[in-house]
Structure 1
Amino acid sequence: MEIKKVFNNNVVLTENDQQQEMVVMGKGLAFQKKAGQPIDLDKVEKKFVLEDQGLSDKLADLLVETPEEYLELAYRILDYAKSQLSYKIDEYLYVALTDHLHFAVSRQKEGIELKNPLVWEIRKYYKEEFRVALKALDIIEEETGVRFPEDEAGLIALHLLNSQLTGENMDAAVQVTKMVNNILNIVKYHFDMNLDENSINYERFLTHLRFFAMRFVRKEKEQESNTDEFLFEQVKKKYEQAYLCSEKIAKYIAKKYKWTISNDEKIYLTLHIHRVTNRQEWNNK
């Protein structure tokens, strides 16, 4: 078994006997190694096959700034999810969930707790995904020592539901696509920039917008929530341009779809917009 690509000192890409790409993890597995060299099988601790041939590049980009411990954590959660859910789990969740977990644990350690305005709906409409996500909270605590509230289980459940987004009818898919495209255009024109569609931050933002649009299509409006006004004002002040952009989006949604979005949703939009535009601005410089 040879190294096809080195992600970092502990994670490499290789191929199995069926010529399928496979991620292999182990402490010091790739230390001072390069592509073409053999893998020390005694150091292999975990491995999983990638059926999507384009996924390895996204995983490589992610692991530049994300500790591989979060990939292992995502692997363990998704392994459990596969044993509990009746549908196929999208392989991209290895990337999306790894990124989400790193961000979530980091902000939790900094004392930043975000409320999930959809947790009531998620618990009600997606019972199996929410049950799996609650187990994921136990796994996260076991591995990191961080205990999340149920709001975080709702966010993890949404990632699992991403595997089912293609199951909607064509009319719903068209409506979702139009709404997402129009919101992205608002962001592009507000900041006068083209967004990097290959970046992790863009993928994260796109996923959030898809769920946002799907809630409208399925008429799953959020329940009334008690917005943390202090957090709202802090986000509004700290990310001024991103917040102004979220207000433009809120006005568009209200005018086009007669849907008033909450301050909780504006917080999430603002954070996503800041991340995708701030990183893009930094890369351009």
Structure 2
Amino acid sequence: MLTVKKVLNNNVLVAEHPNYAEVILIGKGLGFGKKTGDHVADEQAEKFFVLKEEKEQEQYKQLLDYVDESFIGLMNDIIEIVEERFSVNLHEHIHIALTDHLFYAIKRVKQGLDVKNPFLPETELAYPKEFSVATELVDYLSNQLDLDIPPGEVGFVALHIHSALTRRSLKEVNRHTQLISELVSVTEEALKLKIDRKDVNYLRLVRHLHHAIERINKGQYFDNQDSLKKVLQAEYPVCYNLSWKLMKIMQQTLRKAIPEAEAVYLTLHLQRLSKQ
């Protein structure tokens, strides 16, 4: 039996747990009639999670001030789907971040507003599994609420999922997606072409950029391509020079040194694209 510390609403309460200090318990009617000091069996809860940091506990309590109980229940179903698809226990912050995001997203849909997502193609390519699950979640929400949620939301939800899975801040995840989009735009301008987003060479470029950024951030980039670099510089000077321009943008955004070997890989990808 756990001791009730605070009732947040009829379905959500904060309880004292012998192993985790405070936990959030969620279940239909779980908080009804309960008061501080009462006992509650943890098996009565459909879901419980730990908000270890006091700041996150406070944020979640504030969330419940404006998000209705039925939506909280819906969000817990959604988060359970994500955990099942990836076979993980997600960082608890997703209960705050994703609930808050989707609550306002649905509010905008009901008001007839549509926030465009300019990074949708890059998000799908960078995080295909997250994007697939996000598509499932948006479809589920649309059916449950009888709403036509715009496709752009799939990208935003995918970024939230990736943030929770990797325990990287949403700000950092967003910055990487925007960086890839910027690099693609600079490439189009420099090569004077409109890249077909379904072209296999575009898919290869974006996936390469995504993996390169990951490796650079983790300090796992040890390639050496000096001999090939000189050949490409002579054979494809336009693409080679463009590769260095892209690397400079990456360096400014990531604030990390970009290995010179990256010029080789980028030049090869850019040369394939330039054939369009």
TM-score per shorter chain, which class?
0.5 to 0.7
Is residue 2:111 matched to residue 1:110? yes
Separation (CA, whole Å) in 1 of partners of 2:50 and 2:10: 20
Q: Which residue of 2 aligns with 1:94?
A: 95
Higher-Rg structure is 2
Q: Which residue of 1 aligns with 2:49?
A: 49
C-alpha spacing 1:31/1:78, structure 2 compared with 1 (3 Å): closer
Once the two structures are superposed, the pairs formed by residues 15-26 of structure 1 within 5 Å of their partners are: 15-16=16-17, 18-19=19-20, 21-26=22-27
Once the two structures are superposed, the pairs formed by residues 81-160 of structure 1 within 5 Å of their partners are: 81-85=82-86, 89-160=90-161
Q: Is the 8 A contact 1:118 1:222 kept in 2?
A: no
Q: What is the DSSP-based 3-state SS (H/G/I as helix, E as strand, rest coil) of the residue aligned with 2:40?
A: coil
The CA deviation at 1:125 is 1.4
The CA deviation at 1:19 is 4.0
TM-score, normalised by the number of residues in structure 1: 0.56
C-alpha spacing 1:94/1:15, structure 2 compared with 1 (3 Å): same
Ranges of 4+ aligned residues in structure 1 off by more than 6 Å: none
The CA deviation at 1:57 is 2.0
> Residue deviations 1:212-252, cap 9 Å, x none?
4333556764769xxxxxxxxxxxxxxxxxxxxxxxxxxxx
> Residue deviations 1:186-226, cap 9 Å, x none?
xxxxxxxxxxxxxxxxxxxx84x4344333556764769xx
Q: Aligned pairs, how many?
A: 189
> Residue deviations 1:164-196, cap 9 Å, x none?
5667xxxxxxxxxxxxxxxxxxxxxxxxxxxxx
Q: Percent same amino acid at aligned positions?
A: 29
C-alpha spacing 1:65/1:257, structure 2 compared with 1 (3 Å): same
Q: Aligned Cα RMSD in Å?
A: 3.4
Q: Is the 8 A contact 2:24 2:51 kept in 1?
A: no
Q: Which residue of 1 aligns with 2:176?
A: 214
Q: Which residue of 1 aligns with 2:215?
A: none
Q: 5+ unaligned residues in a row in structure 1: which ranges?
A: 168-205, 225-255, 259-285
Q: Is the 8 A contact 2:120 2:152 kept in 1?
A: yes
Once the two structures are superposed, the pairs formed by residues 199-278 of structure 1 within 5 Å of their partners are: 207=170, 209-215=171-177, 221=183
C-alpha spacing 1:88/1:12, structure 2 compared with 1 (3 Å): closer
